[in-house]
Structure 1
Amino acid sequence: MSETPDSVGRSLSWTLLGELSFAAAQWLALIVVAKLGSPEALGRYSLGLAVATPVIILANLHLRPIYVVDTRARWGFADYLGLRAILLPLSLAVTAGVCLIRGWPWEVAAVVVLLGVIRVAGSVSDILYARAQRAQKMDTIGISRAVQGGLWIGLLALGLAVGDEIFALALVAVGLTLHTLLYDRRKAAQVEVPDDPTPGDRSLRPRFDPVRLRGLIWEALPMGLAAGLLGLTGNVPTYVLEDTHGLEAAGFFAAVLSVIQASGVVNVALGNAAIPKLARLSIDDARGFWLLLVKLLGLVVVLNGLGVAIVAVIGDAYLRYAYTPEYAVYLPELVIASITAVVLGLANMLSQTLTALSRFRLQLWLNLAALGCSVGVGLWLIPTRGITGAIETLLVLAGFRLLLYLVANLAVGPRARPRGAQA
């Protein structure tokens, strides 16, 4: 007998537990690198994340949410697992290729590649989470994310204390890979997904059927490209800043961005918890769909607005003591970043709504437009305004994306049936 799905509230509670724990670990990682290293070390770390993350996101092809909202059950979980097993090694090769093309020193290249390995481990966990999310059993995901965060910051701090950043990142890569294989894989096998085409197969063996994989790629490619473009878009300011002002500026910028990254994890948690419910409501309860979306947007404003208030009160102390006094000069940029987080949160929630509606190709075009905005504004502002121009670029981008996604949701969202219409 299958377990009863969690309510949206319970799912959200577990998701927030895991994602907030993971976000706290990511935030602490920036502080640890800054405290035990230098702005340049933090610049290498943030550059590594900026390079590796979009590549891995593209390789993910957004398979997890596609599996979750595939109410027609056209592919089994084994197909999703097989496709990811093919694409992840390619993503690491691309990450290494970027390092070669850019001609970075070996220390920078090693950091970038190791962060790529860490992201690959997270990507395997991500697709394993899909089974629990589809069954609306979010507790195992929340626990796993919390453990991942603890491993990340614990092993990073240990490695930096006894060695250098390369040794520390190697420790993190090994620890997270073992967690994926020993915990996430076992938990995924225990989840029962009644509407999966292969519900009795709990071995989690990937399937490499060429015909099925071609169909899945064709379905996932627009959303995967859209997600990859979105990851690339958000990191354009880091690329331009590093190229025009160096690694040290990228390190200072990473500290400013920490408030956006923290809020982003919360926003993603909200969306992930709500996607299955929104997908079902879009089919048979348009009014319920819009009511839930309004509540989610309100929650985004409240949570991210709280971040603005916190930054306004303790922002200077945060930069001065969490990092070092030389970071405190960027308090105005930190305030702008906190405001940007509110706008980005709203835009990202509306993006998740389009995912719930399976509007994957539409998101591809929207994110392509956003990338053009990011590149254009970034090349205009950052070379002359440095870190200030970089955060201003993100604010303009956030507003542009919010407008795009708002119009898209109003255009393609579900419509209430007229009174008296047949059910």
Structure 2
Amino acid sequence: MTGPKKKRTNLYAESLALHEQYRGKIEVHAKVRLKNRRDLSLAYTPGVGAVSRAIAENPDLAWKYTLKANTIAIVSDGSRVLSLGNIGGYAAIPVMEGKAVLFKKLAGIDAFPVCFENYHTEFADDIKNIAPVFGGIALEDIAAPKCFELEEALQGIGIPVMHDDQHGTAVVVLGALLNACRVTGKAFEDLNVVICGAGAAGFAITRMLRHIGYDPGLFPSVNDIIVCDTQGIIHRDREGLYTNKYKFIIAEETNRRRRTGTLADAMDGADACIGVSVPGIVTPAMIRTMADDPIIFAMANPLPEILPKDALLAGAGVVGTARSEYPNQIHYALAFPGIFRGALDVCATRISPEMKLAAAHALAGYVKRPRRERILPRVLNRGVVKTVAGAVREAAIASGCARKLNDIPVEGYPG
């Protein structure tokens, strides 16, 4: 224990020093020169007046003449930041800056943190009112159920809005599960899945795998899902369920056999367990009760629901975590850069179910020959973004989410 603990302490100290040295991780650069009065007249007044008049007559020209076509707002209220909980908008800034770095380095997207200190009833209106400058909104680290309500309220504002903790995670889980089935020989549509955790990620994964809100004709659903929260298995007859709209939806659409009990009861006979909850909650004994070659995605961070070595010793066929030092890192950074890149490339009005599914299948397909220790590409693989973005662009056009604009410039991909 001494070695890893010391290593982590050093990492934290180095990160503090890095942030102090650079005073943050991102900055704004000018694209045009400003060396003389003519430059000033072109970039600013009076020349810029012609650009403003054109956009006033046709707001869609903002996609052609401004930063809008390649800029994302990363919006958070700091109510659920990493494993730190509700630490507020100020403390969320470095995390959102980090995500902005991923957007830029992986997808060539200019992203900027917009951190609110308090969630309030007008939060959705606040975001709508800053939307004109951005080509998309990435909602980040907002606690459930507020994140569900906020995302729903922002659909239809004319630009893509996606809560990455939900949909980015669900996309990567689907891609990983498709390849885990290829490795273990299990049929996706026959899977009985346990999801440990009913927060933002758990809800979105459940929705995607069981087609809640998705067209059933788009792809096959798993056979059944049992979702567990801190009170155990979610089922229709559970007392107090009707006070939570989202858990009620889960109860209506999953657990067809109406099983009750604990997480251990849920895992008995299951083909897969997807953990988006807390460290150490899954035991080797639970895994030994599952079907042969079970699939274990233990994604709690920084410590998983069960360590990979313990899951493998208990008989797991494929194991994934959210950690980069273990094989099969299942992290939403595999999804969101490519999804937003593809959406921005066609000036999309929203992110459709077809676009998310295309991203998941592109991720799975990127690994040509999956094996037990490689069901997904690495997060920093630059080719992943291009592949996902291409699939998302095609799906956006096919699903009617692409704007029909000509000569819209995009930044493209980083070198």
Which structure carries more relative contact order (alpha carbon 8 Å, separation 6+)? 1
Return the structure number with greater strand share.
Answer: 2
TM-score normalised by L of structure 1:
0.26
Please identify the structure whose Cα radius of gyration is greater: 2
Return the structure number with greater helix share.
Answer: 1
TM-score normalised by L of structure 2:
0.26
